Amino acid sequence: MHIPDGFLDGKTMVATAALSVGGLSLAVRQLRRQLPRRRVPLMGLAAAFVFAAQMLNFPIAGGTSGHLLGSVLIAVLLGPGAAVLVLTAVLIVQCLVFADGGLLALGANLFNMGIVGGVGGYAIYRGVQRLMGGARGVIMGAAFAAWCSATMAAILAAGELAISGTAPWAIVFPAMVNVHLLIGLGEAAVTVLVIVAIQRTRPELIDPSAPASGPLSNRQIAGYGLLISLGLALFVSPFACAWPDGLEKVAAALGFSHRAAIGPAPMANYRLLWIRSAPLGTAIAGAVGTLIVFILAFVVARVVTPKAATESR
Amino acid sequence: MTFSLDPHSRIDSPVHRLPAAAKLAAALAILVATVSTPRAFVPVSCVLLAAAALSRIPPLFLLKRLVLLEPLALGVAILAIFQPGGWRIFALIVIRATLCLLTVILLSNTTPFAELLRVFRRVHVPALLVTTLALMYRYLFVLIEESERMRRARACRTYGGGRRSTWKSLASVVGRLFVRSTERAERIHAAMCARGWK
């Protein structure tokens, strides 16, 4: 998921960096006002926690193992503003100390995993949690949001790579997204198990109505919403239409067909006709998968929510 | 401390003695040059090789780091083959990614993280982020060791067990680690206040 250096072109790096700086400054401004002074060290400790948690490997089939990414977990535990700050710190240390994820690609990685994964994931979590209510809603929201955050980050990364002309969308979209549909399931499972474990021992740490970094104001919600939709508009929507002819038509009608020169990827789409259906197939599979995961999250929430937590609410 | 993140960042060499700000700026310049034009490949590799030789970091260590991180880049680069002129793009990307990786590896192993943080502070990175980074770097070892201790304790007390129970107990280790982190953060806050932090 970490995009290394050398894969993105200039305009993509500048655009993602601008989006990330915008998101980070929103988060810092909110925390400066709302984060109690005694919680400041918690940000550093939470970042170290995410890092340490990522080093614990969960066994999957056949000797392979996966690990937690933690965007949604930390957003559920600390709130969206803190999640952006913590994930920024984690990504900077991973990049500067371990050379994992590029320095110039830091903006892209931060946007995909920190802002879309953290704040976008938190929005989904809160939506589902309000819908369901109570401790069960926390579990279901976290499960669904964790899966969505991995998938969304993969879709954005695919769009960024395609727009940079690194790989054609028809290849990079199915390759990235299909893998992360599965990774998302693991992420959801680990996130839920960890939240259940915390709910059992310290239920007061998870209070969805009062996150540690304070609730979001309407202006902040609008700010994050704008940033995320800008990112989607820039990196995903040029490819999102599965029928290139339609896209072409719209572009011609609006008189900006020269914009097709934005990268070599859309051209490659036409030439490789034999794989043109691959993104459409992935998109349909994704839509069906989303529905299934939503139902799955509901079932999981019914089964694993600790009794004590449901009674106390 | 059982292991170090950047074991060679504190040895003495001409490269290590350079100011951190200069190294960070040079690294960024090298990265931008590498990414923007293939013509920079030869001069950049000369500069990097010279820096690596001057830094007195064991070449084997650098090679190991590079080999460790290269698969991540290769995995994405392979997707580039499936397009017209794919092999050329693939080769271009692999060379670019390798040079960039080597640049960052050299930067991180010739510059202590604390000095990079000082540079961040000077260029007005928000103080909250710098504090977070500093605390994260400081307690990384502590938490990793703590999670390792908990994992070992669990391994000592359980025999076998299916995948299900492994996941469950690992999750409780992670959950416990978070609870311990929040408690530790409170103690750290008290200690910081006692030392005049405001």
> pLDDT at position A3, please?
86
SS (H, E, C) chain A: CCCCCCCCCHHHHHHHHHHHHHHHHHHHHHHHHHCCHHHHHHHHHHHHHHHHHHCCCEECHHHCEECCCCHHHHHHHHCHHHHHHHHHHHHHHHHHHHCCCCCCCHHHHHHHHHHHHHHHHHHHHHHHHHHHCHHHHHHHHHHHHHHHHHHHHHHHHHHHHHHCCCCCHHHHHHHHHHHHHHHHHHHHHHHHHHHHHHHHHCHHHCCCCCCCCCCCCHHHHHHHHHHHHHHHHHHCHHHHCCCHHHHHHHHHHHCCHHHHHHCCHHHHHHHCHHHCHHHHHHHHHHHHHHHHHHHHHHHHHHHHCCHHHHHHC
pLDDT greater at residue A299 or residue A144: A144
Interval B77-99: pLDDT, tens: 887 777 777 788 888 888 888 89
- Residues of B (37-66) whose Cβ lies below 8 Å from A: 65
Rounded mean pLDDT of chain A? 80
Shared domain for B114 and B42, answered yes or no, is yes
Q: Which residues are CB-neighbours of B8 under 8 A, at least 6 positions away?
A: B55, B57, B58, B61, B109, B110
CA distances from B64 to A152, B53, B60, B70 (A): 33, 16, 6, 10
B97 touches A at CB < 8 Å: yes
| pLDDT at position A207 over 60 | yes
Shared domain for B41 and B76, answered yes or no, is yes
Shared domain for B34 and B131, answered yes or no, is no
For chain B, how many structural domains are there in total?
2
Shared domain for B144 and B169, answered yes or no, is yes
Domain annotation covers residue B7: no
Contact residues, chain A, for B117 at CB < 8 Å? none
CA angle A47, A53, A58 (to 5 degrees): 155
Domain annotation covers residue B147: yes
> pLDDT at position A259, please?
40
Interval B53-72: pLDDT, tens: 888 888 888 888 888 888 87
Shared domain for B116 and B138, answered yes or no, is no
- Residues of B (136-175) whose Cβ lies below 8 Å from A: 136-140, 142-144, 146-147, 151, 163, 166-168, 170-175
CB B69 within 8 A of CB A100: yes
CB B20 within 8 A of CB B115: yes
Shared domain for B156 and B61, answered yes or no, is no
> pLDDT at position A137, please?
87
Query: Residue B154 is part of which domain span?
Result: 126-194
Shared domain for B115 and B150, answered yes or no, is no
Measure the N-to-C terminal CA separation of chain B; round to a whole number of Å: 29
Q: Which of A176-190, A258-272, B36-50 has the lowest mean pLDDT?
A: A258-272
A7 touches B at CB < 8 Å: yes
Shared domain for B185 and B96, answered yes or no, is no
Percent of the residues in chain A that have a pLDDT greater than 70, as a whole number: 81
Domain annotation covers residue B62: yes
Asked if the Cβ–Cβ distance from A99 to B101 is below 8 Å, we say: yes
Q: In this complex, how many residue pairs, one in chain A and one in chain B, have their CB atoms less than 8 Å apart?
A: 244
Shared domain for B101 and B29, answered yes or no, is yes
Residue among B82, B178, B188 whose CB faces A77 most closely? B178
Domain annotation covers residue B136: yes
CA A229 to chain centre: 13
- Residues of A (206-225) whose Cβ lies below 8 Å from B: none
| pLDDT at position A116 over 80 | yes
Percent of the residues in chain B that have a pLDDT greater than 70, as a whole number: 95
Interval A213-258: pLDDT, tens: 777 788 888 888 888 888 888 888 777 654 444 444 444 555 444 4
Residue B64 burial (C-beta neighbours within 10 Å; 0-12, 13-18, 19+): exposed
A248 touches B at CB < 8 Å: no
**What is the C-alpha to C-alpha distance for residues A206 and B69, in angstroms, rounded to an integer?**
36
Residue A308: pLDDT band by 50, 70, 90 thresholds?
low
Residue B19: pLDDT band by 50, 70, 90 thresholds?
confident
Domain boundary among B120, B150, B176: B120
B3 touches A at CB < 8 Å: no
> pLDDT at position A61, please?
64
Asked if the Cβ–Cβ distance from B136 to A44 is below 8 Å, we say: yes
Domain boundary among B120, B149, B166: B120
Interval A248-291: pLDDT, tens: 444 455 544 444 334 344 444 434 444 455 667 667 777 777 88
Domain boundary among B120, B150, B180: B120
Domain annotation covers residue B6: no
Shared domain for B172 and B145, answered yes or no, is yes
Shared domain for B106 and B132, answered yes or no, is no
| pLDDT at position A80 over 80 | yes
A183 touches B at CB < 8 Å: no
Domain annotation covers residue B133: yes
Shared domain for B85 and B177, answered yes or no, is no
Domain annotation covers residue B8: no
Residue B4: pLDDT band by 50, 70, 90 thresholds?
low
